[in-house]
Amino acid sequence: MDKDTAIKIVDLYKNFGSQNVLNGINLEIKHGEITVIIGKSGGGKSVLMKHLISLLKPDMGEIWIDGVDITKLKERELNEVRKKFGMLFQEAALFDSMNVIDNVAFPLREHTKLPEKEIIRLAEEKLKNVGLSGFGYKMPSELSGGMKKRVGLARALINDPDIILFDEPTSALDPIISLTILDLIKETQERFKKTYVIISHDILGMFRIAHKVAMLYNGKIIEYGTPENVKKSENEEVKEFLKATGIPGFVGGVL
């Protein structure tokens, strides 16, 4: 595995019953880059991301992280690996019985020995970053979908993980907040140079912040490269997909 590779996915297969969702995924995600995974709804993007933290097990294939194939690990060893990750799930997945601040603070309480005062300070700071100052003592049930998403984002970033997985970080957000979140992701990534893997249908926004774009189609990665190169792809499926997005400078479509 190259030393600039953070995650290497080799021939990954996953079926649900008779449905082939992942059909031989090969992808190398580089350290310190934002890699955006695009593809049609129901195409297996979330399933792929759940494999990266071993919430789903493949039928076949390997996922290498820091020299270890995590598909072979036991649950206890996986917990060690998972400490390296921050994850925002598509549905935000907050703990409903905990208030906002406790949700955001959770990774710090789990994985660090920081004093309580410092934990609260950091959690409040992250809430401020996502525009939710003053909401720390609300319960998730009192928040809108977009607010929950932002709490999930604050939680994913709080313990400064090496690899950050975002599943649809800007869906369910209004355009202004969406831009704020994109800027936050970009700034945070530039500051700490961690590895980000983002799934998003916000193609325009993601092409602005991505270092690399990977397109999933029929259970395989059919295109991978810089946004500029992916825009110029000769692959018909990629062209068809991008045609619908109205990306400036996209020449494969109608323009």
218 binds ligand ATP (CB under 6 A): no
Do 241 and 40 touch, CB atoms closer than 8 A? Answer: yes
Angle at 216 between CA 210 and CA 220, to 5 degrees: 135
List of residues 6+ apart from 225 with CB closer than 8 A: 212, 213, 233
Angle at 235 between CA 234 and CA 238, to 5 degrees: 115
- Choose from Mg ion, ligand ATP, none: what does 21 bind? Cβ within 5-8 Å by kind: ligand ATP
- Choose from Mg ion, ligand ATP, none: what does 44 bind? Cβ within 5-8 Å by kind: ligand ATP
E strands present in the chain: 5-16, 19-30, 34-38, 60-65, 68-69, 85-88, 163-167, 195-199, 212-217, 220-225
Q: Which of 18, 42, 75, 115 binds ligand ATP (CB under 6 A)?
A: 42
Query: Candidates 29-37, 38-46, 97-105, 108-116 — which segment interacts with Mg ion by CB under 5 A?
Result: 38-46
Query: Candidates 42-50, 67-75, 150-158, 233-241 — which segment interacts with Mg ion by CB under 5 A?
Result: 42-50
46 binds Mg ion (CB under 5 A): yes
**Which residue's structure tokens are 């809108």?**
144
Minimum Å distance from CB 28 to ligand ATP? 20
Q: Which of 9, 47, 108, 147 binds ligand ATP (CB under 6 A)?
A: 47
Number of alpha carbons in the 13 Å side-chain half-sphere of residue 55: 11
Per the document, the length of the chain is 255
Cβ-based nearer residue to ligand ATP, 17 or 115: 17
Residues interacting with ligand ATP, by CB under 6 A? 16, 21, 39, 41-47, 90
Residues interacting with Mg ion, by CB under 5 A? 46, 90
